[in-house]
């Protein structure tokens, strides 16, 4: 860990696959008349994270606090990433850190959480604040669509109708997922596989087509799988 303080924290880490969310998700809880509105967004850069934070702040100008935390990969899977949080005026480690820890406990990255608090007139104490920010973030996570992203390759195959059923069975046996199928005078399939697992399927395709296969394999990309 490089550093951690009242306004933020960051460190580096490595991963080959990760879990994130699709789009955005929101949830709200109430604690002693204080409203805690948690928003999550899928982001891939610090600029995107800060833009979502600015958007939430603009929509909640009357709120007392807009606490945030985000976890980012920068440069793709296996590269260093950044983790940062802010208590935004709440007592130290009662808001931003619990929000961050809830994201980390869920195993999420490429995500920002912003928890907006409208004060209800009653002080919650440090324990009450930690519970409220944790529960609000957890509620938003439960409302989100989680997505596992891995290093993948996309494969496009064109073949005769007579070989379609046999090939799709082979693809399933090799762990490929069919993304799209187009039917015209022949069949065109677009598949996705984890990078490094494609060679057995490509060999089977060569045997099926007797060396006349029509196939295109993409460069590895980070994609849902």
Domain with residue 79: its CATH number is 3.30.230.30
pLDDT at res. 151: 93
pLDDT digits (tens, 9 = 90+) for 100-158: 999 999 999 999 999 999 998 888 999 999 999 999 999 999 999 999 999 999 999 99
Mark whether 12 and 114 lie in a shared domain.
yes
The two tokens of residue 109 are: 């990255």
Domain stops at, among 110, 144, 178: 144
- In 3D space, the residue among 219, 169, 203 whose CA is nearest the CA of residue 189 turns out to be 169
Residue 10 shares a structural domain with residue 97: yes
pLDDT score for 10? 43
Can you count the helices (H) and strands (E) in the chain? Answer: 5, 13
For residues 168 and 117, state if they share a domain: no
Are residue 105 and residue 207 in the same domain, yes or no? no
Q: Do the beta carbons of residue 118 and residue 182 sit within 8 Å?
A: no
User: What is the number of other CB atoms lying within 10 angstroms of the CB of residue 165?
Assistant: 9
What is the rounded radius of gyration, in angstroms, for the C-alpha atoms of the chain? Answer: 23
User: How far apart are the C-alpha atoms of 43 and 36, rounded to whole Å?
Assistant: 22
Q: What are phi and psi of 77, to 5 degrees?
A: -60, 135
Mean pLDDT, residues 204-219:
95
The pLDDT value given to residue 74: 72
41-95 residue pLDDT tens: 999 999 999 999 999 999 999 999 999 999 998 744 444 578 999 999 999 999 9
Asked if the model's pLDDT at residue 15 lies above 50, the reply is: no
CB 98 within 8 A of CB 133: yes
Task: Determine the structural domain holding residue 87 and report its residue range.
Answer: 3-144
Of 126, 144, 162, the last residue of a domain is 144
Residue 11: predicted pLDDT: 36
Last residue of a domain, one of 88, 109, 144: 144
Query: Helix axis angle, 164-173 relative to 199-208, nearest 10°?
Result: 160
Spatial separation of the C-alpha atoms in residues 209 and 189, rounded to whole Å: 15
How far is Cα 212 from Cα 158, in angstroms, rounded to an integer? Answer: 11
Q: Does one domain contain both 20 and 44?
A: yes
* Res 80: pLDDT: 53
Model confidence at 23: pLDDT above 80: yes
**In whole angstroms, what is the distance from residue 150 CA to residue 224 CA?**
6
Contact 102, 83 (CB under 8 A): no
pLDDT at 189 exceeding the cut of 60: yes
Exposed/middle/buried for residue 51 (C-beta within 10 Å: 0-12, 13-18, 19+): middle
Provide the whole-model pTM.
Answer: 0.75
Map tokens 């931003």 to a residue: 96
| pLDDT band at residue 2 under the 50/70/90 scheme | very low
Neighbouring C-beta atoms of residue 18, cutoff 10 Å? 20
Q: CA 116 → CA 4, 93, 133, 201, 211, distances in Å?
A: 22, 16, 9, 50, 60
What is the C-alpha separation between 68 and 98, in angstroms, rounded?
10
Distance from first CA to last CA of the chain, Å, rounded?
30
């Amino acid at each position: 860990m490089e550093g951690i303080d009242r306004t933020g924290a960051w460190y580096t880490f490595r991963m080959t696959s990760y879990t994130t969310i699709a789009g955005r998700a929101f949830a709200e809880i109430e604690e002693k008349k204080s409203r805690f509105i948690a928003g999550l967004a899928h982001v891939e850069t610090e600029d995107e994270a800060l833009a979502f934070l600015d958007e939430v702040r603009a929509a909640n100008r009357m709120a007392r606090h807009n606490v945030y935390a985000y976890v980012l990969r920068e440069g793709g899977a296996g590269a260093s990433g950044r983790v940062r949080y802010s208590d935004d005026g709440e007592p130290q480690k009662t808001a931003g850190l619990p929000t961050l820890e809830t994201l980390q406990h869920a195993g999420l990255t490429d995500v920002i959480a912003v928890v907006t608090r409208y004060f209800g007139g009653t002080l919650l104490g440090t324990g009450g604040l930690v519970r409220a920010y944790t529960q609000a973030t957890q509620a938003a996570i439960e409302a989100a669509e989680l997505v596992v992203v891995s290093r993948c390759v996309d494969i496009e195959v064109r073949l005769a109708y007579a070989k379609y059923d046999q090939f799709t069975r082979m693809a399933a046996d090799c762990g490929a997922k069919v993304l799209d199928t187009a039917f015209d005078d022949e069949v065109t399939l677009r598949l996705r596989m984890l990078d490094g697992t494609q060679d057995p399927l490509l060999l089977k395709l060569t045997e099926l087509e007797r060396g006349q296969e029509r196939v295109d394999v993409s460069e590895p990309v980070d994609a849902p799988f």
